[in-house]
Amino acid sequence: MEHNPFPAGLALPREAHSFALFIFGATGDLTRKKLMPALFSLFAKGHISRFRIVGFARRPWTREEFQTQTAGMIHRPEFASFGGELKKAFLDCLDYISSPFEDPRGYEEIRRQARGLSDRLYYLSSPPSSYIDIIENLGRAGLGEENGGRARIIVEKPIGHNLAEARVINEALARRFDESQIFRIDHYLGKETVQNIMLLRFGNGLFEPVWNNRYVRQVQISVAEKIGVEGRGNYYESAGALRDMVQNHLFQLLCLTAMEPPNDLDPDSIRSEKVKILKSLRPMSRRDTSHVTIRGQYSAGYMDGKATPGYLEEPGVAPDSRTETFVALKLFLDTWRWSGVPFLIRTGKRLSRRVSEIAVQFKEPPLRLFSRSGHQADRNTLIIRIQPDEGITLNMNAKIPGYSTDSRPVNMNFAYGSAFGESPPEAYERLILDALLGDATLYTRRDEIEASWAFITRILEGWEESDARPYPYVPGSAGPEETKFLTQREGHRWRKL
């Protein structure tokens, strides 16, 4: 199906064509909320053409039922300007395979569905417990072989529950696919502001010279949510904030903030620098975890004037659960650039506001010239806002008009919406298109996943050994009061949420 909304003679910036995309777990929330809207948006913008999208799941849907369900998935306000004819053209490119993931007969249908199209992309949107079945069946059916056309596989997080499980999944992938065919997805890397971190650092002579321990006092990375587990208690019981957010999303932000400049923009050059950061994390013994980590669990309370249940009252949660809904870490990197600079990381649910940001706080000037007037100037901070209101803010001090030398903090702001006059594409749009085109820059490599899990697993083992309960915290707060203990020794303090 060909579609080009651009004027005649205007070349498309990036286009993938002649492919079949198979979504394993196509009846789940990820497909409904993210994948299908992203794929329709790519189609409407002219980035994909001549394709087939095939759902693969246990639910006994027909092709027509899958199309009807997808019509509901793309019935959104942001797509209201697109006509019914365009939506029908997209829906006509959909098909469905009803099969258990472990049944080889379902995989025989994949070859038929891909006939006449050069490339195949397998998207594992299923529960992680099904990954091995899917990978092995694809391999046995020869569907990982290229044979003149390209075959790629996208694997959603979480890849494993700990280091040992991550290695099992990676070994299965390596048996059936070449590493160049494997795309381990972290949707945070698809966010425009996250991609802009490298350009901010390495494309501006202003920042890179001061991006080191000589000038930087501390770095804080925060990902806060106002919502609770929202009916996902069963999943969260097996994950917790450390596995769900730190092992992937926050560590990606850490790597991009701290990495050395790559030699070039080749995907492996960039990913190799990120792996170096994970391997430079100061080793943490099990005993260390009580000093450099804080766990929290939200209690019952009120949010925006409404009563909210505590985590222990959520459906699917054990009444004596020790699963953390908040975690804060103090990390150090044993590198020449960052020696002695604390990286303070926190994430949690039922916090005071929804925000994802990186805050780089710089040291004071060597001479406190203006403090003699009795006013203490604030430290300069560069804030990279990932969501909401994507952009960058630089806090600086300026003289207050008048006869004194008193100063006041002021902001220099850059916002994507006002600077470029358009909203950036959704993360999954960018990532799916990259995978179709074979660009792995924003995907994680096997050694990166395992280096991350190696560090996180030591923390999990330390928590298990200590047998301590998470600290309770009030909904709408910044997390447990005990979080301040991570910053007091060096005289730091957390940014206000």
Q: Is the pLDDT of residue 104 over 70?
A: yes
Q: What's CA 29's distance to the chain center, in Å?
A: 17
Q: Is the pLDDT of residue 192 over 90?
A: no
Q: Considering only CA atoms, which of 114, 112, 107, 166 is closest in space to residue 141?
A: 107
Residue holding tokens 């472990």?
102
Q: Considering only CA atoms, which of 264, 312, 290, 20 is closest in space to residue 150?
A: 20
Cα distance between residue 100 and residue 433, in whole Å: 28
Quick check: 91 and 70 in contact, CB under 8 A?
yes
pTM recorded for the entire structure: 0.90
Which segment of 121-130, 179-188, 375-384 scores lowest on mean pLDDT?
A: 375-384
pLDDT of res. 377? 60
**Which band of pLDDT confidence, cut at 50, 70 and 90, is reported for residue 107?**
very high
Burial 346-355 (b: 16+ CB within 10 A, else e): bbbbbbbeeb
Q: Considering only CA atoms, which of 20, 260, 205 is closest in space to residue 123?
A: 20
- Map residue 450 onto helix, strand or coil: helix
Q: Is the pLDDT of residue 13 over 70?
A: no
Q: Is the pLDDT of residue 8 over 60?
A: no
Mean pLDDT taken over the chain:
90
- Map residue 350 onto helix, strand or coil: coil
Average pLDDT over residues 88-116: 94
Which segment of 57-66, 97-106, 182-191, 469-478 scores lowest on mean pLDDT?
A: 182-191
**Residue spans in the chain of domains classed CATH 3.30.360.10:** 189-428+439-488
pLDDT of res. 30? 93
The bridge status of strand 391-399 relative to strand 381-387 is antiparallel
Cα distance between residue 438 and residue 441, in whole Å: 9
Mind listing the pLDDT tens digit for each residue in 256-284? Answer: 999 999 999 899 999 999 999 999 999 88
Q: Is the pLDDT of residue 414 over 90?
A: no
Average pLDDT over residues 335-344: 96
The tokens describing 75, both together, are 């019935």
Residue type, position 424, single letter: P
The H or E element containing residue 328 is: strand 326-331
pLDDT of res. 376? 58
Q: Is the pLDDT of residue 375 over 60?
A: no
Q: Is the pLDDT of residue 349 over 70?
A: yes
Cα dihedral 32, 24, 111, 88 in deg (nearest 10): 0
**Which band of pLDDT confidence, cut at 50, 70 and 90, is reported for residue 96?**
very high
Q: Considering only CA atoms, which of 113, 99, 105 is closest in space to residue 25?
A: 99
Mind listing the pLDDT tens digit for each residue in 198-246? Answer: 999 999 999 999 999 999 999 999 999 999 988 888 889 989 999 999 9
Mind listing the pLDDT tens digit for each residue in 116-138? Answer: 899 999 999 998 899 999 999 99
pLDDT of res. 393? 92
Quick check: 358 and 220 in contact, CB under 8 A?
yes
Which CATH code is given to the segment(s) 16-156? 3.40.50.720
Cα distance between residue 215 and residue 59, in whole Å: 57
**Residue spans in the chain of domains classed CATH 3.40.50.720:** 16-156
Cβ neighbours of residue 243 closer than 8 Å, sequence gap 6 or more: 158, 161, 456, 460
Percent of the chain with pLDDT over 90: 70
Cα distance between residue 342 and residue 328, in whole Å: 13
Cα distance between residue 74 and residue 376, in whole Å: 53
**Which band of pLDDT confidence, cut at 50, 70 and 90, is reported for residue 455?**
very high
Instruction: Given CATH 3.30.360.10, say whether it is the number of domain 189-428+439-488.
Output: yes
**Catalytic residue, candidates 161, 249, 291, 375:** 249
Instruction: Examine the residue annotation and report whether 249 is marked as an active-site residue of this protein.
Output: yes
